[in-house]
Structures are given as structure tokens and as C-alpha cells.
Structure 1
């Protein structure tokens, strides 16, 4: 690295990263699932089905999964190479422009922090499936959830990892169980013995028309489903945020990123196909809930539960509601972790108050977590304003923010790729090498940036103008560039050239950690080894005993 590169570092000396590397491979794998799967996959997905139809829903989710896989390619290569705290936020500042990193960091922090009260409200609504609000005030349940998040996130990160492991495991059980339920019931294994198969793709049809009729109406239906997929599908960013606290990152992270493909294919592609098989898009219940905004408690709005009720299955809806509640808790827990670590990353580089660099004796950035928990108190707005209204506020705000995050990851990778090439670093030496680069980076950048502005298009349709909807849909796409411009002017930062990008700072610590790392199995791993060892087939070893023949004398 040239001496010119060393002079490009910020005048603000980075604070030391005092987090602890305690997350094991199983923790990181399930953290990725925990942040990926929220209540939107089980309940809100019905909106896309009602407005676009089963074929549009399946196409929208499948195409958007290809976009997220390309984002995953970009993040995996960068983060596996340099697994530091809040990686893609700090990479944006190092590989592109310091002001760019600041804008990215605050965008991601706002997105993750706002998602915490969203999931808390979702959890409270899910409990209404059992009419618990008649006995205990909703505010009590929301307060209990916030306290639970505090207990999990303020202590050692390994306890966060354990909590997320078991809660996310419940999500896996739920989605796999629902896919099996879909397959069995469509073949006639249900109380009505109705072998319905793909009946609803023929009647009322595979495509629903939205706003207009004919081809344009069907395209608009696809666009609605595509936007629904943008809000519902996530994944690689949650894996990357655990990079700074992963035990053996260069071994564990590539495996975790590779697993994103299977999660997307199983959970989202098959999930979008399943709901279109189970429920017709013109179902009166779907239309009442997602078009006429009729409130539905908990899982009652889920297409899966609607199918169970139609097939006269009595117990499963309660089990599904319980697991969806666990899903909401797990997603909110992941958002607390990611929001606090994004703020911590900003503070490490002097882009946020130094107070937020402090960690407790467990290595947890305690003040970052506390600030996120304060933001979570926004969930109490729904007590006076109304759940549906607050939900729409949050969804409009965070959808554009999430798309901006992915656009930034893609653009940062393109700059990283150019820097590798300019500085003569062979990509074949990296711990992870993404396929089809840099073209998959360009593909992801095009779709994510475009959808950032398309996401709120319905407000411009004749008769649909609504000021709050417009405001919440386009606040972040305007605010984030404004932060970039202000920071750039005030701090006089400049765009990094490919040959001066810092690709080595922090590598020495990572390599030293790898060299001295010794894997110590935890409580779960020890018991798994003991349990699995009981079923290990051991071969019998035959020892040849030499035969001594006495000579006759």
C-alpha cells in the first residue's frame, strides 16, 4: 500500500473495537434467518396475492430473490475479506467517500431502529388472535417485549446468539411445516378430502388486475407484488452485521453467505407459490383485510390460516399464531442487534458521538442498545393513532430505506472490485469470490436503485393522492442524499480513487485472530457431539495375532 493511502485516513482517530468474538457458526446461520423472516412472510404476503394474483406473486418474489442473491454476492466477498464491525457501513466510507459512509450508516440505523417498534406492534396484534386484550392492556405486552429485548441484548453477545438461535429455529419449523401442509392438503389430505391442486390458478385465474384492466392492469398487479417482495425479502445484510463478533469469521461467514441461496429458494420462492395454491386471490377474506383494510387479529389475516379455516382444520391456526408470534419476537430481536451495531460502527469512525463506542464488560455497545430501545417506544403510538395507520407509516418509511441499503452495498462492491484490480490484488486469493462479478453488482444496483423510487408509485395514480403516504415513501430517498451533501461540504471529503482505497487496514488484526484461534465447543456443541456419538457406527477392528509354532526337538 502506497504512502499516499495512509495519508487519506480520516483526521478523527478510530476508536478501538472492543466487542467480543463469541458468535459461533450456528448462531450466525440462524441470525441470518432471524432477520430475514418476519411477519410479512406469513401475513402481509396476502396483500400481494389479493392485488396481483398467484402468478404475479410468484414471479415478483422469484425475480426479487435473484436481485438479493446478487447483493449477497457483493457483501459476501467484501465482508469475508475484511470481517469488521458494521462492515458495509464502514466500507462505504473507506471504498467510496467518507460522506457516503455517513449517509449509509444513518440510513441503515434508521431502517433497523424503526423496524423494532414495527415488529413489537405486530407481536401485540398477533396476541389479539386469542383476545388477550380483553384481560390485559396491549401496552403491558409491548412493555414486556421491550424489557425482553433489553435483557437479551445488554448482556454477552453469546446470549443474544443463543436467544436468536432458538427463536429463529421456530421460524424454520413454521415455514417448513406450512410448506408441507400446502403440499399435503393440495393432494387431498385434508378433512374435506378436496384435491384442489392448482385449481385457483385457473379459477379465478393466475393474474389479477390492479387499477387498470387488460394487460396494463396485470402489469400493475405484477408491480405491486414486486414491491411487496422488496419489503418482505432480506437476508445478507443481517449476516454481515455479525461479522465483527463472529468467532472464526473467514471460515464461518462464507458458509453463512452461501446458505442465503437456500433460504431464499425455500422460504420466499416456495412460500409465495404456496399461498397462491392455498387461497384464491378473490377470496372475500383477503379482499376485506388487504383492500378494504378490515382489521384482522394476529394470524387471522394469514393466507395459511384462511386456508385452514376453509378446510375446517381446528387446531393448526393456534399453533401457527404462536409460531408467528415467535417470528415477530425474533425479527425484532435481530433489528435491535443490527441497529445498535450500525450506530456503533459510525461511532467507531467518529461519525457519531464517542459515547456510543463504549461497551460494557460483556463487549456489548450498551449505549447504542439503549438508544434503539428508546426508539422502540414509538410502538405506543398505535394505542392512540390506530394500528393500521402506524403500520403504513413504518412500511412506507422502511421499504425505501432497505432498498437504498442494498443499492449502496452493490455500488460499494463495484468500487471495491475496481480497487482490487487497480492495486493488483488477485480475487482468487480472497476467502470468498462471488460469481459473475462485477456484472451481478451492476444488476443488483440497477434494480434496487430503481425500485427505491418506484415503491410509492400508487400515490401518483389518479384519485390516490395522499400526503402522508407520499411523505413516508420518499422521505429517505431525499434525506440520505441531503446528509451526504451536508457532510461532504462541511468536512470537505473527496471521492476515493481506485488506487488509493485502503484495503489493508484491519487485516493484520484479523489474520492474528485467525492464527491464534482455537475452537472451543460450547454447551450445545458438546452435547450434540455426545448425542450424535451414540449413533456412530464403529467398525470392529480385527487384530492379527501371530501364531507361534514350536519346533519339535
Structure 2
């Protein structure tokens, strides 16, 4: 039986008869905005318009996801989680959210293995569910990533106050960070290597901190105090939150589940780079398998050793300095009497914030580029340089980095923080849509008798993983602001829930304007514009020496 990925099948079966000249191709890509929308079909056939080039390897793809996921949430925010809910509750919460992140990562990895094209999961929503959903998801994910850029730059600038808190230099530091973040993205040739190096430094730092925490716990610190599980008994492993008793302990656990889900957001970035990754079906599959286990291992071990060493009632956990002073790792060193290393931790926190900002700028520009390719954003954003860099999209998105200057004025800082908080739930919508698109993808393949075994990457636990992910992301969306109902304020309620009506307005507005419909499983297009295996994959080069063999296992 012929399959959509077979050589020649695409030529024999074209659902879309429009060719590149009919789509109005220009020197550097673009589409004719006068085309009828045709319920989304016209914009599936864009392979001749997509001008990005495959320059990234699997190590770059997975490190991009790690750069977006491992940041200040682990190095700083984990301490607040332990203070609020207790060590055991935090460990359970992070493990639980890890299963949801795994479900989402498997779903987007399998769809990307099938169709490694620009636009990533917003395009999958258009192709497998409804073009209106792709539009809503794309713009929601775009502005979520876009406004995360100045947030991370601001975090990096605040981290520098650990060494220099001179108010007059904040503007200078912010300007340097903005310039370097934009420069790294504009020099596309070195972006992958830059993120790879920074992510490797972060991973090395966290492994070192985990080992140090274990040494402190076993009595190897200057105080020679063997702690064991003492903190789980005094002050206790599970804290009460908002209410006393068992209900309070459950609310504490649930509050950290919500917090941890913020921290894990960014794992899906591994698929954003698919159109720029060499041999994407093989390399994205490898990256999906490895990135999750790296992230979950680092997170779980970090939470475990912190919980052993730092009691949840330690007063320093209440600090909100934004730099190493509030890091639970630094607090553990302080308790054990270790000096000097807090500067190393602060450097790691700074690097984490900066690399996250660069990764989210990359993601925002590629999502905008993918939307423009399919007529869901102005066509000017499809412009690429001769080296395959979506220049206009990057320049347009770089403007958001300038918003980080707003934090330097007290009045503007309040507005900036409120604006950024409005986007924090956007990642939930992305995860929900990924799992929804996968369920439609899976059902469509079954209905059209397409064998999933042809895919280079697939999960044997599907579609149950996506049902699990769909359920829990819906819970995150509906209950992420549950504490506002115990201590209600209008501003917090808006912050937690304004993204829901905004998303729905995108969806129903596009559906009404273009009269789109939800695809039936029998009608889903698994052909148009999807490159064959022969078009994307090149033979894998065997390792040439011992170091390359070790690197292939580790990285």
C-alpha cells in the first residue's frame, strides 16, 4: 500500500492543484493575498514558498528546547514552591506535570516526524482540526513567546544586581542584553551553536549543584551535618495552603502543580525548529526522546536534593530579590557554611535567563513566519535572506525586546508586569491544542488506513498519552487561578483568565470571516505540501572516533 511518505506518491496524488506560480511566489517567498481561502486548502501547498534552510542538527534542536525550559523557574522559583507546599508536595507536583509535558512532547514529536514543515503545531491544528484553530493557536503562541522575551531580559538584568545594584547602570545593562539577544538571532549561522553552548553550561551547572546538594545532605559540607530526610519530618513534607488540614495540603499540592506547569513550558520548542533541522524526521525524533529525560531528570533530582537540605520554613525562601540570594541552592550552601559558590549560581541564573530570551525570540519569529506562509499573517513576514533567515519576522519580533526598558520606571513596571502576566497562560493553550491536534491526526490516519509504522518517530502509548495531556491541560487552563476565588481581586482574575476570551475571539472571528469547518477524519489532507522522506533525510554519518561515540550517547 502506498503511503503519503513514499517517493512519487505526492506527485500522483495532489489534493491541491495550485502550483507555485499560481500562489504568486516572489524572489524570497510570499503568497498572493487575493487568493480565495478555500477552507484552508490553498495554504497547505507552500513548500515552494518556504525559504528557510536546514542548518541545525538534533543537538541544536534539543538544546533549544532545554534553553526555553530550564531557566529561572528551576534555579529560583523552585524555592518558593517548597516554601508554599512542602518538599514532598513539590516533588509529586513536578513529577505529575512531567507526565503531561511528556504526553505533549510525544504528540508534537510524532506530528513533526510526519510533517517537518514551517509553522509547526499551529499548522497541524489548521491541517488536522480546523484552520480557525490554527489561526487562534498561532497568534496566541506568537504573542506568548513574544512577550516572554522582554520578561527574560528583565530577569537577566535583575540577576546582575547581585554584583552591581547601581541604579544608573540598569539602563546600560538592559540595552546590552537587548542588543546581544537580537544580534544572536540575526546571525542565524551561529544561533544554534550559541544556544547549544549556553544550554550545555546550564546542564553542567545544574548537575554540579545536584551533586553538591547530595554531598551537603550526606554530611560532606563544612558543617558535617548529615541531614537525611530530616526536613520531611520537621517542619514536614506537605504544607497547608489557604485552608487547614487535608484540604489545605491538597491545595498546596495543586498550587505547585500549576506553578510547575509554567516551569515545564518550552519543551515544545524542539518542534519549532523542524523546518530548519537537517534530517528532521530522524533528528527531531532523537531530540524528543532525549530532551524530556534530560529535563525531567534534572528537575526531579534538583527538587529532591533541595527538599532534603532546605526546610520549607526557612526565612530566606520568602525573599524576592530576583537573583541568587533567593535561590534554594544558594540557601543550601549558606546553611552548610559554603562561601564563594553563590557567584557561580548567579552566573548560571543569568545565563539561563538570557538564553531563554534568545530562544523565545527565535520561536516567536518562526511562528510568525509560518503564519505568514499560509495567509494567516501579512505576507511581508515571509521574506527570507539568501541564507534562509526570515529577516523581517526576526526584526519585527525584536521590537518586543525594547519593552524591557519599561521596568526601569516604577509606573511603567506595573503595567509591564501586568501585561506579561496576561500571557503566562498562553502555554497551556499551546499544550492543549497540540494534544487535540494529535488526536485528530491519529483518528485521521486510522480512517484513511495510513500505517503509523511508517513514521520514523512514534509513541506506542498513543493516543492515550494525548487524552491524558488534553485532560490535564484543560484543568490547568480552568483552574490556574483557583486561589483568586479564596482571595478575590479583579486584577488577578483578569490576569489569570483574560487569555480564554482572547483565544476564543481569534478562533470564532477567523471561522466567521472565512467560513471554515472542522475536518472530518476522512477528509484530512495528509499529502499536500508534506515533503517525502527522500526530500528531507540524508544518510547518518557514523562516529569517526571515541569522542564522537561518547558525544552521540550523551548529547
Q: 1:234 aligns with which of 265, 283, 287?
A: 265
User: Matched residues in 2 for 1:468 and 1:228: separation?
Assistant: 19
Q: 1:76–1:434: 8 Å Cα contact kept in structure 2?
A: no
Corresponding residue of 2:113: 80
Q: 1:487 aligns with which of 510, 522, 534?
A: 510
User: Matched residues in 2 for 1:281 and 1:103: separation?
Assistant: 41
Q: 2:126–2:134: 8 Å Cα contact kept in structure 1?
A: yes
**Cα shift at 1:44:** 1.3
Q: 2:235 aligns with which of 204, 207, 226?
A: 204
Q: 1:155 aligns with which of 187, 200, 222?
A: 187
**Cα shift at 1:30:** 1.4
Q: Does 1:498 align with 2:521?
A: yes
Change in CA separation of 1:532 and 1:269 when aligned onto 2, cut-off 3 Å: closer
User: Matched residues in 1 for 2:511 and 2:136: separation?
Assistant: 10
Give CA-to-partner distance per residue, 1:523-552, whole Å, 9 cap, x none.
xx9xxx5784899xxxxxxxxxxxxxxxxx
User: Matched residues in 1 for 2:267 and 2:363: separation?
Assistant: 12
Q: 1:396–1:469: 8 Å Cα contact kept in structure 2?
A: no
Corresponding residue of 1:383: 408
Q: Does 1:53 align with 2:86?
A: yes
Give CA-to-partner distance per residue, 1:86-127, whole Å, 9 cap, x none.
211111101111111000000110111111111111101110
User: Matched residues in 2 for 1:483 and 1:366: separation?
Assistant: 26
Change in CA separation of 1:97 and 1:213 when aligned onto 2, cut-off 3 Å: same
User: Matched residues in 1 for 2:393 and 2:280: separation?
Assistant: 23
Q: How many residues in Structure 1 have an aligned counterpart in Structure 2?
A: 517
Q: 1:314 aligns with which of 331, 334, 339?
A: 339
Change in CA separation of 1:297 and 1:503 when aligned onto 2, cut-off 3 Å: closer
Give CA-to-partner distance per residue, 1:289-337, whole Å, 9 cap, x none.
2xxxxx4251111111111112221111001101111111111111011
1:234-383 equivalent positions in 2, closer than 5 A? 234-287=265-318, 289=319, 295-383=320-408
Q: Does 1:122 align with 2:128?
A: no
TM-score by length of 1: 0.89
Q: 2:67–2:195: 8 Å Cα contact kept in structure 1?
A: yes
User: Matched residues in 2 for 1:272 and 1:142: separation?
Assistant: 31
User: Matched residues in 1 for 2:386 and 2:498: separation?
Assistant: 38
Q: 1:115–1:394: 8 Å Cα contact kept in structure 2?
A: no
Question: Unaligned 5+ residue runs, structure 2?
Answer: 5-12, 18-37, 551-555
Change in CA separation of 1:206 and 1:367 when aligned onto 2, cut-off 3 Å: same
User: Matched residues in 1 for 2:401 and 2:491: separation?
Assistant: 21
User: Matched residues in 2 for 1:448 and 1:67: separation?
Assistant: 8
Which sits farther off after the overlay, 187-196 or 356-365? 356-365
User: Matched residues in 2 for 1:189 and 1:391: separation?
Assistant: 44
Q: 2:68–2:267: 8 Å Cα contact kept in structure 1?
A: no
Which sits farther off after the overlay, 379-388 or 229-238? 379-388
User: Matched residues in 2 for 1:518 and 1:386: separation?
Assistant: 57
Corresponding residue of 1:542: none
User: Matched residues in 1 for 2:524 and 2:443: separation?
Assistant: 10
Q: Does 1:178 align with 2:209?
A: yes
**Cα shift at 1:381:** 1.8
User: Matched residues in 1 for 2:419 and 2:335: separation?
Assistant: 32
**Cα shift at 1:135:** 7.2
Corresponding residue of 2:453: 428
Give CA-to-partner distance per residue, 1:429-464, whole Å, 9 cap, x none.
111121221111111000001111211111111xx2
User: Matched residues in 2 for 1:210 and 1:468: separation?
Assistant: 21
CA RMSD, 1 decimal: 2.3
Corresponding residue of 2:172: 140
Change in CA separation of 1:392 and 1:45 when aligned onto 2, cut-off 3 Å: farther
User: Matched residues in 2 for 1:54 and 1:399: separation?
Assistant: 25
Give CA-to-partner distance per residue, 1:250-293, whole Å, 9 cap, x none.
11111101113312331222222222122111111113x2xxxx
Secondary structure at 1:10 match in 2: helix
Q: 2:493 aligns with which of 459, 462, 470?
A: 470
